[in-house]
Structure 1
Amino acid sequence: MAKTRTITEGSIPFVMLVMFYSFCTLLSHAADTIRPKDMLRDNETLVSAGELFELGFFEDPFSGNSYLGIWFKSDMNKKAVWIANRESPLLDSTGVLQIRSDGNLILTDRRQTPMIVNSGSVATSENTSATLLDSGNLVLKEGDSTIWQSFDYPSDTYLPGMKLGWFGLKTEQPRIQVLVSWVSPQNPTRGDFTLGVDYKGATKLGVWRRDNAHMDIGFWDGKNFHFIFKNSSNSFNFSYVSNENETYFTFSTSGSHVLSWFVMASMGLMDEYTMSKGKISMVSHSICEESAKGNASECLMPMPSMCKEGDTFSVISGSMPASMIVNGSNNMGFSDCEFICQSNCSCTAFASVQDDQTGCQLYYGNKNDLLSIIEKEGGVIYVRGDAPTEHDVGGQRRLWLILVSSLTPLIVLILFSLWCYLRCRSLNCTGPTVNQVRSRDDVSGTGEVTLLPRGSNMTPTNVVTTATKLELGREKDQELSLFSFSSIETATDYFATENKLGEGGFGPVYKGKVPQGQEIAVKRLSKRSGQGIEEFKNEVTLISKLQHRNLVRLLGCCIQGEENILIYEYMPNKSLDSFIFDSTKRVLLDWRKRINIIEGIAQGILYLHKYSRLRIIHRDLKTSNILLDGDMNPKISDFGMARIFGENETRAKTNKIAGTYGYMSPEYAMDGLFSEKSDVFSFGIIVLEIVSGKRNMAFFESDQSLNLLGYARNLWKEGKSMEFMDSTLDDSCTTSEVLRCLQLGLLCVQDRAADRPTMSDVVSMLSNETIALPLPREPAFLTHMSSSTDADSSKSKHKQCSTNDITVSEIYAR
């Protein structure tokens, strides 16, 4: 059991020290304050006057790290409601809390590296003391004035009297108070989920997973606070305060015998706790209940799953082999691992690596085969859908034996018929040809395809047969809807000019509408295009195997005569370049939207490089290939130039260099070498263009013959980074985020591929502001590459040229 704090003063005689120690022992219940020269060591605690809360050191049993925290004195588990050094844990149990001679509350260990606990409001005199109140608030006072309090810096717990919201609204850097979850129930490192005031509508409390809305907690109607959930105690009295200086929520609880509070749990749930007579109980709240739907228009309900097995996971006992570890870092929690697996339908199961539910293992095989490779003892594995059983495995094997023995003759017959057909076709035999068109009765979701002979008067409802797999060259892809050319003509009003959305290296893109009313985007391969049928096949083969919220979705295709057409989901906001390079529309993308777009693009590329079934290098990432849906969510498109990498393949070389000047990495443009770092370079260009609102290939700084990369590098070195930012973002940007994005962009466009970060590193840097970014080296293509434009460009300081992206279809390496 922890002792009460011991006060050490070197100048007190030995006898007085013994008497003083005895006195403190007798009055241990009153030790709620620490004063100058007092020391609180690892095995000592402060206890609030009413013995409700306790402050002291606690240890993470898995990492051995030590933290200074506050917990309920009656809680045997010592679950901290507030932590002083959450991001800077002590490495051992030598921690000491004391008030330094300058009046500041500091935390040190045997390394004697001080951490100022009250760094948000530094003391100005020596006359200070820190007291733990019965509210759970640790306050630092100068005389009778409070200069700092722990309630202004919440961890994951919302106690009565605590405020969540925005403060210092009239200052240059307003301060936000939110709850941030632990990365796992045992690891207090900052997790994925945040609970706080909705910055879009300040009268709502909500939960975010990073910057994406996760669920609503409740809202203020002008007089009262309404929970989306039915809270168990009904004892919360919320107040909402809003003025020119601050906007926040706070609450109290009714009844003196029951205390209630909230915790932002590591799984993204809002847990409600109550304590009565020293006993703590918990009620967990997640997605809103059926009865509560009408309480708020934006109550978040579960999205329907895109996966055949659904997005729910069953639990089985066992542990995966160590070879399946994707990330062993303790910064990746259970919810991260679940999210990665949930986002990829090919992911069959996942598990945590460490006992404290950090780290991540993923399994992509058949879930019935999982039982044969896992270790039966220890651990927990989460399997998509229903859990497999030994009976399932045995039954499946017997079923396969029956199917193989019975279907072998049929397969031989089919292969022989196919050989005859191909033989006949190679000899220019004539025969009936067919158009394959997706059944217009698509609402059934059967995936059936109608086969119609050309010239037939039959309608799609006359003849229906099961869909066959699309044959592309010698490879067979997964089932994909095939549309007839006539149905596409009808959908696009015969490729009317007013339906034309744009044109790229592939050919024109048109807007269309199917009979059910769904809008589609139709990409038609131009006969004059530098890209050909191989790129068309490549795009169909790749994108049909991919599924991610930041990749555009392929709905089907048409292969008829010389017509090669792709049908995509329609993106109402078109491409990113149509916003950031347009002087009128760029104002619609404030800083929050731009940072969300940057993070979405990064997540999409990371999926391609690491988490999809195929390791894919895109090779043509640019702003015109980033499409925006109705909510401005980014979707990566145009996979015609993409290439598949093997598991052990790190880079490849080509003599046919295809891509877009201004976005190609130097090693690819000059020598035909491409790798994951080629996409990282393109991503860096996109980040710099999003931040600046300037096109790389159309920008020229005449004084030093610098392009956009060189201009960004110079401003960063001179400490003038904010001059690089698009001026329309002045009112919406966060300075620290702008500086971080600029530095991240410069890291991605470094000349040497080895110096650039991986996309895993990029995502970590974007999502965790505590990660220190390395200093970027010289970027590639530092000066303007086009000598023909130099003379003209020198006429203006910052000339905005009208040069369009130049898409390279074929260049031979030097």
Structure 2
Amino acid sequence: MNPAKELLNTSLLLSLLVFRFCISLDTISPNQPIKDGDILVSKGETFALGFFSPGNSGGRYVGIWYHKVPEQTVVWVANRDNPLNDTSGLLSINGRGNLVLNSKKRSTPIWSTNASVSSTNNSMAQLLDSGNLVLVLPDNQRVTWQSFDYPTNTLLASMKLGLDRRTGLNRSLTSWKSEDDPGTGTCSYGINPNGYPQFFLYKGGTPLWRTGSWTGRRWSGAPNTVPNLTNYSFVDNQDEITAVYGFTDPTVFTRIVLDESGTIHRLTWNGNKWVEFWSFPEECDRYRECGLSSNCNPYEPDKFWCTCLPGLEPNSTHDWNMRVGSGGCLRKQGASMCRNGEGFVKLVHVKVPDTSVARVNMSLSLKECEQECLRNCSCTAYSSADETRGGIGCLSWHGDLVDIRTFANAGQDLYFRVDAVVLAQYAKKNGLTQSKSMVAILVVSIGLMLLLVVSIARWLVMRKKKAYFEESAMELERSTKNSYLPFFDLSIIIAATDNFSDANKLGQGGFGSVYKGVLDNQKEIAIKRLSKYSGQGIEEFKNEVTIIAELQHKNLVRILGYCIQGEEKMLIYEYLPNKSLDFFIFDETKRSLLDWRRRFEIICGVARGLLYLHQDSRLKIIHRDLKASNILLNNALNPKIADFGMARIIGGDQIEANTNRVVGTYGYMSPEYAMQGLFSVKSDVYSFGVLMLEIITGKKNSAYYHDGPSSNLIGHVWDLWREDKAMEIVDSSLGDQYANEISRCIQIGLLCVQEHATDRPTTSAVVFMLGNNTTLAHPKQPAFILKSTHNGKDRSISEVANSVNEVTITMLDAR
């Protein structure tokens, strides 16, 4: 053969091999190392491994990242604390069968797997589609080392965290030092095997947050906010204490990340960006927030979140009054707690105290646990260790209780030991019974109360309007006394609003007026003040107090308290300076301040808040008046659903409910609700769909369109979508950079406003569609697309809805 031709063929073959190695191989063998510039790609092209420099760093690291995600998202780093200073790095299998990272400028390895490998020349490193880098012996496929055993700041599906009792390996997450430095940071998240195991989040060795114990289904202090999509498993035996989380759809990219500040985030890739589903710690989550033997209740923010357990009092009344709860609580003097008629008070929906100091006996039932605790005078509380099979196992605490907090939709029952006096007081206050005779007394009392309520209702009907209002106000005051909300004295509100001065007035509505106020501690608040002599709003006032006080979500407006004194009835909310969403999107100038990324965040935030109301909160709540003016924006323009005066609670198994009193706003009401009074989660989904289309277009649904066959926004979008021209109505200020994502959101909006409720997606399906680039169904014809006589203004059943800075107030009574 011609030597020149042979040399050319050899060069072509080598080039082909190098090209193939750089883009397709998923393994490193003794004869196939990778250098800086090469990458490994897993078989399904999910993950890649190679050299990278994070952020503004000049150092070079070996890491693993998502291969199909445009923005490089690193999930693991090999030499995190020992970067290379140049591009001479080489990752290879050495003579002892270990994976090593070398540099031309250093004689010793920069990083190595340091695995015990019996075979010296037969190891192979392979990158799997799970994101796991494994060192295996091809002869028997035995894994001698894996990156999943040495996580950095990211937890992937199927990755174990926890302790291997046999080897002593304790897998935990550790934060990066900064966005530019993947070195081991000060924050960590891992298992604490003491007592009854639980996960702890630490910063500099100090506990920041704990998950609570494993209940058999979940971590008691970390609610699962993505139901039906994730699954968790926990193993505690003689070999290991480990936990694994999985995702039911393997095509979805999801990860849990511990950031440098000590916050854990759950993120999912939606095809364009990472969307956050939850983060911890949140309010009341920080470890020992309220000191010893106390409870942190985020539903009572201005009454001070920290509350003493029954029968206890603050260690320092002065600190407690100054909103400092770290001193905790003490038993009241003279309390006898040993075989002197004491018993247990049941605290519901709480994260049970720190279980690392708890005693565990899995052979006892809950009743046997109570008896065992009662016999031991040092036992201060007990709970079930496993809530499956009706509750098995016994957790008991002996001494001070640490880190209890109240949840709306999670937690467990905790039984706290109190003396005989407190037990009797608590039973009387809460209607608790200790015997069959007490049950009989309670039944009779309830019957008498019902008769009394009926009598009062009949009497009220015959009273004049003013008398009716006064009696309703009295009943309102009685009902609110048992709510979770703190009471604000009228003098505090007068001082905060400068005696309700016009300068502090934010707006006027059917209920009355809304004012801005500033408390003595400089905290800004919004006050919703009912008109003194209006009979409207009493039921909505009570409704809002009883419903929203139970809720806690970052996408719901927080009610801070109430005031009922004389003729004054007021609700106090957190102050949100950026007004409501309609203030922006329906204004030609202001809506340009909301680019598509911000609008999409608002859409997703509202959807997550709605999902919480429908599915994740302890109560199943239908809002019934979801609209742009009821979406408030905080400093960061994050959305918060407001105005729960029309909201209704329905049973957990109830599909829909019926009302003879249809309330809400024209343009947002679903057809089955407007025409038949039927409301359900699907009627809220309809309102959300209208809101989505308004956010995308910058136009009101009730606006009149002269150039099309349909009179409102829904019909106009539907007409254009069928002609594949839906992008023509999109707000021009959004540009065309995100055309695909906007078009997808239009289709989701149309799915939400379909005429028949059964065709509309559930709220959880909406959240999933927004967060994942899955195939969408073809929407059917929407409801309410006929000609209208409205003049472009949203109309309530009786009057125009008035939007103010913090609270949108709507007239409710049908006429």
Normalising by the smaller structure, the TM-score range is 0.5 to 0.7
Alignment partners' CA distance in 1, 2:675 and 2:728: 32
Contact 1:524 1:564 (C-alpha < 8 Å) held by counterparts? yes
Which residue, out of 272, 278, 284, partners 2:152?
Answer: 284
- Are 1:404 and 2:423 an aligned pair? yes
Query: 2:210 maps to which residue?
Result: 312
1:744 aligns with 2:748: yes
Q: 1:700 aligns with which of 675, 698, 705?
A: 705
Aligned to 1:691: 696
Q: How does 1:620-699 map to 2 (within 5 A)?
A: 620-699=625-704
Q: Matches of residues 59-458 of structure 1 in structure 2 within 5 Å?
A: 70-73=26-29, 134-135=34-35, 155-160=46-51, 179-180=65-66, 196=71, 231-235=80-84, 257-258=109-110, 282=150, 284-285=152-153, 311-316=209-214, 318=216, 326-327=227-228, 330-331=247-248, 335=256, 339=278, 348=351, 369-374=383-388, 396=415, 399=418, 404=423
- C-alpha deviations, 1:318-377, integer Å up to 9, x for none? 5579xx99416634778569948977985859xxxxxxxxxxxxxxxx995442533799
Name the residue aligned to 2:486. 481
Q: Work out the CA distance in 2 between the residues paired with 1:760 and 1:651.
A: 17
The whole-number CA distance in structure 2 between the counterparts of 1:563 and 1:670 is: 36
Residue 316 and residue 763 in structure 1: after superposition, are their counterparts in 2 closer, same or farther (change >3 A)? closer
Distance in 2 separating the partners of 1:196 and 1:236: 23
Q: Does residue 724 of structure 1 match 2:729?
A: yes
- State how 1:449-598 maps to structure 2 within 5 Å: 473-474=478-479, 477-527=482-532, 531-598=536-603
Structure 1 position 524, deviation (Å): 1.2
Q: Deviations over 1:173-229 (max 9, x none)?
A: xxxxx9449xxxxxxxx9xxx7947xxxxxxx899xxxxxxxxx9xxxxxxxxx9x9
Contact kept in structure 2, 1:341 and 1:348, CA below 8 Å = no
The alignment partner of 1:670 has SS state of helix
Distance 1:235-1:154 versus aligned 2 partners, 3 A rule:
farther
CA contact 2:556–2:641 (8 Å) conserved in 1:
yes
Aligned CA distance change for structure 1 residues 722 and 300 (closer, same or farther; 3 Å):
farther
| Paired residue secondary structure (1:284) | coil
Provide the rounded CA distance (Å) in 2 between the counterparts of 1:594 and 1:395.
42
Paired position in structure 2 for 1:766: 770
How many residue pairs align between the two structures? 536
Instruction: Work out whether residues 152 and 175 of structure 2, in 8 Å CA contact, stay in contact via their aligned partners in 1.
Output: no
Q: Secondary structure at the match of 1:546?
A: coil
Find the residue that maps to 2:683 and give its secondary structure. helix
CA offsets per residue over residues 447-485 of structure 1, 9 Å max, x none? Answer: xxxxxxxxxxxxxxxxxxxxxxx9754576443221122
Query: Which amino acid counterpart does residue 587 of structure 1 have in structure 2?
Result: S
Gaps spanning 5+ residues in structure 2: where? 1-12, 57-63, 89-100, 114-125, 137-143, 155-172, 190-199, 202-206, 231-246, 257-265, 268-276, 284-297, 299-348, 353-369, 371-380, 396-400, 406-411, 433-440, 443-447, 457-474, 802-809
Closer/same/farther in 2, CA of residues 553 and 161 from structure 1, 3 Å limit: closer
| CA apart distance, 1:583 | 1.3
Distance in 2, matches of 1:293 and 1:725, equals: 36
CA 1:647–1:411 in 2, change beyond 3 Å: closer, same or farther? Answer: closer
1:315 and 1:32 map into 2 onto residues whose CA distance is 57
Alignment pair present for 1:735 and 2:746: no
Asked if structure 2 preserves the Cα contact closer than 8 Å seen for 1:750 and 1:778, the reply is yes
User: How far, CA to CA, are the matches of 1:238 and 1:529 in structure 2?
Assistant: 76
Q: What is the CA–CA distance in structure 2 between the aligned matches of 1:641 and 1:489, rounded to whole Å?
A: 28
Structure 1: runs of 5 or more not aligned: 1-29, 36-45, 56-69, 75-130, 140-148, 166-177, 182-189, 198-204, 208-216, 218-226, 240-250, 350-365, 428-469, 790-800
- Structure 1 length-normalised TM: 0.54
Change (3 A) 1:766 1:559: same
Instruction: Decide whether aligned partners of structure 1 residues 689 and 530 sit closer, same or farther in structure 2, where only a CA change above 3 A counts.
Output: farther
The alpha-carbon distance between structure 1 residues 289 and 524, as it changes in their structure 2 partners (threshold 3 A), is same
- Distance in 2 separating the partners of 1:803 and 1:668: 17
Separation in 1, partners of 2:499, 2:228: 51
Per-residue deviation, residues 692-720 of structure 1 (Å, max 9, x unmatched) = 00011124234424310111011111111
Note if contact 1:238-1:252 (Cα within 8 Å) is conserved in structure 2. no
CA distance in 2, matches of 1:544, 1:265: 48
1:780 aligned to 779, 783, 786, which one?
783
CA distance, structure 2, for counterparts of residue 717 and residue 272 of structure 1: 48
Specify the SS of the correspondent of 1:659: coil
The offset of 1:673, in angstroms, is 0.7
Rounded to whole Å, the distance in 2 between the matches of 1:479 and 1:376 is 29
1:584 shift after superposition: 1.4
Change (3 A) 1:542 1:161: closer
Amino acid at match of 1:556: G
Identity, % of aligned positions: 38
| Aligned residue identity for 2:423 | V
CA 1:751 to 1:318, structure 2 compared with 1: closer, same or farther past 3 Å? closer
Aligned equivalents of 1:524, 1:32: Cα separation in 2: 78
CA contact (8 A) 1:709 1:779 kept: yes
